[in-house]
A and B are shown apart, each in its own frame.
Chain A
């Protein structure tokens, strides 16, 4: 509490002496129960990376099944035991793998791992604050996430297996213990893990919002904030407003599961159970509550990547971001529309066609702010003095994937087309490109760009280039063909396509996709090696501002301590994008506006 109080007595008033005060950190308070936002960010990042490896490995396993449905791999039985009897993954295990892959990647990697890492790391550093509004709640946020991770991990080891009803957890599979093996203990643990995760994400979000609104340094008006901060701000707002709705949906689910209520369950007949005694429940109700979070969740995943890409592109193009206010406005528009489009996931649930057409219209409206962003990124690159660092390549890769995946969003946003394409590989291809891989690219861009600030060392560039090109090519090689499979009617979530005459033609293509998936996964190991090697042995950072960027984090010492700036927090005099202005390559935010300077932002 002592340093928490010290952090708060002076926040943002430009005259504090916190940097001089000493507190003695033990191993436990420095690395484990740390309240330093930078350490918490690293905790989120490393935990997220562990989950990314596990989630990625799961996809390799089920791709193995899809690519080689007739083959037997004895080594699979030795790791998975009864889940791969005779060397082939069982259908139950396949569904469990797909479900856990989705849950883990969406929530644990691309929500906690992405905004947990970069909101924690960048918000105080880029707005000029000593730490978060409440470092203690921030620490709790990580430990709730950690506990959620342990619970989710333990669900992989229960006898009846982890939950296997899809990451969306629709009832009745999620509401009835006897609906499937994974619906028993696996689902109990899934709900507990997700409830803990929601708490973690709320505690984090409250902190991010309060910090951005209340703890900016002198001169840092809202329109002088880097776009990373704006993006993280809207991300936090989306999370704080949508996760509670998921929680309420899950509470009703818990009551249906454990206390015999009939919110979602009705008198359906279940094989092996008989007719249920429930009356009048509606499974569609859960879908509404789920997708009211589920759609904003897409932007919770995407916006941090957009923000970081904007920043990295401007720095490495040596040009101001094109259309700062338009970028900001489009972030705002996306955040609003995110709440008004959830039923486009439900066009085939018997939704009233008139209501459907309203959701079609609202969904297609998202194309407008998205296109504004894309054109602004491209015009930022235009005639820039582009430095192709690995971070920059991943940022450009993000834009490429966002365009490719966004265009198929226009198809799927149309109810008429979606009714045909729903639950096909077209959907799988669409959301993996636009939200999954694109956001991973944003995350990679962020890691490559801010690694020097995180660890005081550089990542290896050559490994970074190999990582980028294989991942970029691999992403398209994996997901591009899936569009055609989807158009041909190949449904998602099927265990084995070889028994359908109409999908036999895709056997070779499926094998090809699986092979590429394995190569791309192996390349991520290369990144992991680069990451952990560079933490300890990477080339040391010797200058304060290695990328010659304008933002405040580069005015801190190479390895900043808790409190970030040893002396006073610097004052801000300009927006963060004065690159190539009045003959200067870059003018940091801390430089006062000169007398003869041309118009300032």
Chain B
């Protein structure tokens, strides 16, 4: 890469897709910042229902934490050119993603069985907020899971897919992001909420 010593413009260049992704993550952060700020404002007003977060959300937190580790291992193996461990870690990550989603849905059901309505005329906005915020996070996880499934599928079918590790790098960045985002939301909903 030619570096213009005078301006140094070339020094900081990363792949433009990474830049697109980072900027996109910034905008997702703003969306959840908006929602959690609204939550804080609403909580300070009258008619707020306090309830315990079901334990299943704690389990899902551990699951997504582990999946962050496995996706990082997949990137590592891809960079080392080790085809089989790469495939393995990627597939495990996809499976953990699906497990996380199922656990989140069970969390919603646990709330409902405790007679805490998430929507509808009897719902309190405390539960509705939890539902909407978690559901939107879940949709972002779903996007990641679909991408994980796609990339793992490709890792089994394509002959040599380790020359270009950009897709899996982008995917792992995104996956770490939804992981960290969930940890933030969990801490927020558990202690602040």
Contact = CB atoms under 8 A, between A and B. Distances in A.
B42 interface: yes
Interface string B26-50: 1110111111001001100111100
A157 to B, nearest CB: 31
A216 B13 CA distance: 10
Contacts of B46: 280
Contacts of A13: 1-2, 10
Interface of A: 8, 11-15, 133-134, 137, 202, 205-207, 209-211, 213-216, 218-222, 224, 240-245, 247-249, 251-252, 255, 259-263, 277-282, 285, 288-289, 292
Interface of B: 1-2, 4, 6-10, 13-17, 19-20, 23-24, 26-28, 30-35, 38, 41-42, 45-48, 119-121, 123-125, 128-129, 132, 136
B125 A248 contact: no
23 contacts: A202-B24, A205-B23, A205-B27, A206-B23, A210-B19, A213-B19, A214-B13, A218-B2, A218-B10, A221-B7, A222-B9, A243-B27, A244-B34, A245-B30, A249-B34, A249-B38, A259-B119, A278-B121, A280-B47, A280-B48, A280-B124, A282-B45, A285-B42
Contacts of A292: 34
A472 to B, nearest CB: 38
B9 A221 contact: yes
Given A12-B13, A218-B9, A206 B45 contact: no
A211 B16 CA distance: 7
Interface SS majority for chain A: helix
Contacts of B32: 248
B34 A240 contact: no
A277 B31 contact: no
Contacts of B132: 251-252, 255, 261
Nearest to B41: A285
B41 to A, nearest CB: 6
Contacts of B15: 214
B113 to A, nearest CB: 19
Complex A-B, nearest 8 residue pairs according to Cβ-Cβ distance, in ascending order? A280-B47, A133-B16, A244-B31, A245-B34, A210-B19, A221-B7, A259-B119, A248-B34
Contacts of A288: 38, 41
B3 to A, nearest CB: 9
Contacts of A281: 125
A206 B6 CA distance: 28
B123 A261 contact: yes
A509 to B, nearest CB: 42
B126 to A, nearest CB: 9
A134 B42 contact: no
Contacts of B33: 245
A224 B16 CA distance: 20
Question: Which residue among B2, B4, B10, B19 has the maximum number of chain A CB atoms within 10 Å of its CB?
Answer: B19
Contacts of A207: 20
Question: Which residue among A8, A219, A261, A263 has the maximum number of chain B CB atoms within 10 Å of its CB?
Answer: A261
A13 B2 CA distance: 7
A248 B132 CA distance: 10
Contact of B23 (A209, A215, A222): A209
A210 B20 contact: yes
B116 to A, nearest CB: 13
